Structure 1
Amino acid sequence: MFTGLCAAAVTAATTLLVLGQDGTVGGTVTRAADGEERAGEPAEREAEQDGSGQDAPPEPTYEEQLATATPVDPDLSGPGSFTVVPGTEPGAGRGTELTYRVEVEDDLGLDPELFARAVHTTLTDERSWSHEGRYSFERVDEGEADFVMTLASPGTTAEWCAKSGLDTTVDNVSCDSASTERIMINAYRWGEGSPTYGPDLVREYREMLINHEVGHRLGLGHVGCAKDGDLAPVMMQQTKTLSSGSATCRPNAWPHPEG
């Protein structure tokens, strides 16, 4: 009888309370007959938390990332070399088919994946140039392309735009360098937006940049604000102003805002 009780005591697992440094109960540890200690539920829950003991915050959504400004030196001049952002995506339209590649200047400090996603999401939106299937923009990452969407420092943007006779140093803007393969998106403007859109419309400003410069690649020129209070035409130079004469328009990112 006594022998059996001893055996049971040896084989049974023992549950101990684990005390924290302040003397409070912090969880349980189960010590099995083989001497190994196994953590209880409180330790498992702790593994799901960050180092502060709080639940880790959710990752920001694409929309939140695109709406968040990033400081960029307006006088930044990068190395002038570019890296292709990997990835291919089909076009959304049924009409004129165009291919494009996404490249970002090296050492720029901006998120290349976010830029690439923004370009394709914008161009395939029904409010963009794909409206009613008129154009189909296919993203490629190798071989020939009809144009290259390029995110570059203000200095490098100015160099490439000058190849097509354009001066982007005035107001630090972007351009379609039409005599080259590149559409140049100025990293300063991409990062910080413009006073005409303000801090609450960073996402809309970035979408406008993409649509505006691709519109030039499609052969469209600048237009002004036709009527006070209207949405600005996407081909208006909205980075510089929303006014034409006595008419002032509202910010607008899309060639077909009605969708």
Structure 2
Amino acid sequence: MPRSARRHRRFALFAQLMAVVVAVGAVVIVVAEGPGGRPEADRLAADEISSVPPPLVAAPLPPSADPSPSVSASPSAPAVLRLPGSVPSAGAGRFGYDDRSGPVLGRAGELRRYRVAVESGSAEDAVGFGRAVEAALAGPGSWVDSGRLRLQQVPGNAPRDFTVYLATARTAGRMCAAGGVDIRIGGRPYTSCRAPGQVIINLDRWRLSVPHYVSAGVPLSVYRTYVVNHEVGHQLGHRHERCPGAGRPAPVMMQQTLFLNGCRVNPWPYLDGRRYAGPGL
């Protein structure tokens, strides 16, 4: 091979060798560093971490929601502490019934049936009252949590063990007095009561709660749960109880409609699956 040809071939081989060296160096640099000079392994780890959702993930927007970031979420509505407007102080003295058959509440034990009645002229709906009573008695935390009692709502004309009435103050006062219970405070029927076979809820309390609940910001729904479980507790044979200590939950059989005596509001007879009670009167 002529000398000039050999010189040209050596130059070509050298050029190819240098190109390979440059390429390998570039690969090493890419592997060693990611964009911005950060180690690629660290970048990948960071990407993997950022792809893991946080512990609390907001639910996706429903199809009808506006996903625009310029639309701020509306604040949650404040709790209803008492209902506005006047409360009928007297009704017709006649009752209409929620004629639904409810589910059996509770796992085991004696089955006691109840019906739900609302006084005509009270401006309250029997079905709505029945649902609220059922929610209070279903728990968790209600009397059926004992495992020795079941409760079921039945229609108005069905055999029953007791009736839960929602009555205007005047009618409640008369019904309670007939059962031997005086519910007057300052001369006006104020509390609710239990008479034989009758759980009588005062419409004033059902709509307005009580001042110390309202001033503490306790929702009306909590008071309603309390008053149902308290009066049904009397129907089940439980007597009044006292506050077991300042700062502790009030027993459901404490007269929370009148006072708390340092206890905290509690609408349930069972807490954490165990019967919660205070000293007897």
Q: TM-score with structure 2 length normalisation?
A: 0.63
Q: Which amino acid aligns with 1:210?
A: V
Q: Which amino acid aligns with 2:98?
A: V
Residue 193 (structure 1) aligned to one of 188, 209, 223 = 209
1:150-161 to 2 correspondences below 5 Å? 150-161=165-176
Structure 1: how far apart are the matches of 2:95 and 2:84? 21
Q: How many residues align?
A: 190
Structure 2 gap segments, 5+ residues each: 1-76, 274-281
1:102-251 to 2 correspondences below 5 Å? 102-141=116-155, 142-170=157-185, 172-178=190-196, 181-198=197-214, 199-243=217-261, 248-251=262-265
> What RMSD, in angstroms, separates the aligned Cα atoms of the two structures?
2.1
| More helix per residue | 2
Structure 2: how far apart are the matches of 1:82 and 1:177? 17
Q: Does 1:69 align with 2:85?
A: no
Residue 19 (structure 2) aligns with: none
Structure 1 gap segments, 5+ residues each: 1-63
Q: Does 1:253 align with 2:267?
A: yes
User: Once the two structures are superposed, what CA deviation does each residue of 1:155-214 show, in whole Å capped at 9, x if it has no partner?
Assistant: 000010001111112260000012xx3210000000010112115421110000000000
Q: What is the DSSP-based 3-state SS (H/G/I as helix, E as strand, rest coil) of the residue aligned with 2:142?
A: coil
Q: Taking structure 1 as reference, are residues 95 and 67 closer, same or farther at Cα in structure 2, changes over 3 Å only?
A: farther
1:33-72 to 2 correspondences below 5 Å? 67=80, 69-71=82-84
Q: Which amino acid aligns with 2:231?
A: E
Structure 1: how far apart are the matches of 2:92 and 2:134? 26
Q: Does 1:83 align with 2:96?
A: yes
Residue 70 (structure 2) aligns with: none
Structure 1: how far apart are the matches of 2:212 and 2:81? 16
Q: Indicate if the aligned counterparts of 1:220 and 1:235 stay in contact, CA closer than 8 A.
A: yes
Residue 37 (structure 1) aligns with: none
| More strand per residue | 1
Identity of aligned residues (%): 36
Residue 53 (structure 1) aligns with: none
